[in-house]
Amino acid sequence: MGRRTRRRAKIIVDSRVILKLSDISLSTVGELRQTFTVKNPKHQNAARMGFWTKDIPKTVTNYEIDEDFLYLPRGALKKILSILKESGVSPIISDRTITPPCIQSKMIGGKMIADVPN
């Protein structure tokens, strides 16, 4: 029996996680969208109290999607990778997060003094 070929997908980690839609299946996109769609607590509270809810969305989406890309919260990278793995996708991660420079500091007279590198 042949070895199952895993689909490869480039993931860009920036201020959010960016997936190219053409790299993942429609069912995986659907699962990610469902995972990052939650019930709107404002709607739930208003409905519970008997208030008008027509102008309050029932759900809140924690993603954006356009013609080519799906944008997800960076803090959920572990969950995103888990969903991709379950879907047979091997991620290629491109980390574009910015690491700030190291700042040396010391206490002088009870005050923190920082030496900022040039």
List, for residues 72-98, the tens digit of each pLDDT value. 999 999 999 999 999 999 999 999 887
Is residue 97 within 8 Å of 14, Cβ to Cβ? yes
What angle separates helix 77-86 from helix 26-35, to the nearest 10 degrees?
A: 150
Beta bridge partners of 90: 8
pLDDT of residue 1: 44
The predicted model gives 38-44 an average pLDDT of: 96
Segments making up each domain of the chain, as ranges: 7-115
Confidence of residue 55 (pLDDT cuts 50, 70, 90): very high
pLDDT above 80 for 15:
yes
pLDDT of residue 111: 74
pLDDT of residue 78: 96
pLDDT digits (tens, 9 = 90+) for 97-108: 877 777 677 777
Looking at 3.50.50.60, 3.30.780.20, 3.30.1490.20, 3.40.630.30, the CATH number of the domain 7-115 comes to 3.30.780.20
Instruction: Report the mean per-residue pLDDT for the chain.
Output: 88
* Cα-Cα-Cα-Cα dihedral sign, residues 58, 61, 64, 66: negative
Strand residues in 1-118 grouped as ranges (E): 7-13, 16-20, 37-39, 59-61, 64-65, 69-73, 89-95, 104-108, 111-115
pLDDT above 90 for 40:
yes
